[in-house]
A and B are shown apart, each in its own frame.
Chain A
Amino acid sequence: MSDHGHRDHNEPESGPALRVKAIESLLVEKGVVDAAALDAIVDHYENKVGPRIGARVVARAWVDPKFRRRLLKNAIPAIAELGIPSGPEGEYLTVVENTPEVHNLIVCTLCSCYPWPVLGLPPVWYKSFAYRSRAVSDPRGVLREFGVELDPRVEIRVWDSSAELRYMALPMRPAGTEKLSEDELAALVTRDAMIGTAVVKYPPAAVARAHAQD
């Protein structure tokens, strides 16, 4: 998607597109908002933020135990150390750590609150009714559908996000990654691992498949 602001046909607009255009044009006319600021916000969320930012945070936490402690205690100043801004309404962020005993799963049961500064905007399934309801009622079943089979002894903690509370899971560092650089570690971390619907694998699945075909 790269065509914002470049509608190059002259068809009349209708439905939600028309409604948004009417709201924007009136608010711009009244000086309530600035169209360039809206462009910048769209560009930011489409092109600048996303799960690679969270992956950097995770990799740093894996290699630097002091950073990990700071991150778990108070995430916003910790991510600021990496030059990551807290975002427009992201002054709330709590990082919850996965351990051999506890697996954390993030959801927003009522709408779609999500840790934007570190993960960007949520995937479609995160906003779905099925995920929002079942993450709470049957987290183990949801994880199974995502291909995550946890030992029954592992406790699953489900964190319900809200306007003031946003969560990110700190996944476990996989075995065998001791010699990887921080950048190589970050490349292993997936968005779903930071939501809690995946675990970080090493070697990554794609590489493992490639070897299997050798």
Chain B
Amino acid sequence: MAPELPPETEVFAEPWEARAFALAIELQARGHFQWAEFRARLIEEIAADQSSSSMNESHPGPEPKSGYYQCWLRALERLTLAKGLLGKTDLDQRADSIAASPPARTRAQGREPIRIA
């Protein structure tokens, strides 16, 4: 096997992109939806994003206006709601509560001692 080379580019620009990606893969792997169902929504989101960005510019930008993984995330959210895996109200409330109270640091998250005497 050829020596492992460093990746040419970062796979994910932000940690949340990786989580959104993994959620779609895992839900599909567990049989909660077919990949084609996810892809159909992703295509819709990319197309909607593209057309909204094209209205202001004669040449569409190189990337969807709000970013590829934002389209991915909207597709994921729509599909989980449509499949009844989540409720819209529950989701909005959970987002509000996470925003209001950032998770406390735990030992598991810390890379440094919590306290040095």
A residues near B, CB below 8 A?
Answer: 1, 3-8, 10-14, 16-27, 30, 32-34, 37-39, 41-42, 45-46, 50-52, 55-56, 59, 88-89, 110-113, 120-121, 123-125, 127-130, 162-164, 183, 186-187, 191
Contacts and interface: CB of A to CB of B under 8 A. Distances in A.
Contacts of A124: 9, 63, 68
Given A18-B99, A183-B3, A186-B1, 15 more contacts: A1-B10, A12-B100, A17-B14, A18-B98, A21-B98, A24-B19, A26-B90, A38-B19, A38-B22, A39-B22, A42-B12, A52-B5, A129-B60, A129-B63, A164-B36
Interface of B: 1-5, 7-16, 18-23, 25-30, 32, 35-36, 39, 42-43, 46-47, 50, 60-64, 68-70, 73, 76-77, 80, 85-86, 90-91, 94-95, 98-100, 102, 104-105, 109-111
A39 B92 CA distance: 24
Contacts of A42: 12, 18-19, 21-22
Nearest to B40: A163
B105 to A, nearest CB: 7
Contact of B26 (A10, A16, A41, A162): A41
A33 B64 contact: no
Given A112-B68, A163-B35, A186-B2, A12 B91 contact: no
A6 B15 CA distance: 9
A187 B11 CA distance: 21
A21 B64 CA distance: 23
Contacts of A37: 22, 26
Given A4-B18, A27-B23, A110 B43 contact: yes
Nearest to B94: A22
B28 A33 contact: no
Contacts of B86: 23, 26-27
Contacts of B21: 41-42, 45, 121
Contacts of B63: 124, 127-129
Contacts of B111: 6, 8
A50 B98 contact: no
A183 B46 contact: no
A123 B35 CA distance: 21
A120 B7 CA distance: 10
Contacts of A125: 62
B77 A130 contact: no
Given A120-B11, A163-B35, A23 B91 contact: yes
A164 to B, nearest CB: 7
A155 to B, nearest CB: 28
A13 B5 CA distance: 34
18 contacts: A4-B18, A5-B109, A8-B111, A16-B73, A17-B16, A18-B99, A20-B19, A23-B76, A23-B77, A38-B22, A38-B23, A38-B26, A51-B8, A55-B2, A56-B2, A88-B29, A120-B7, A129-B50
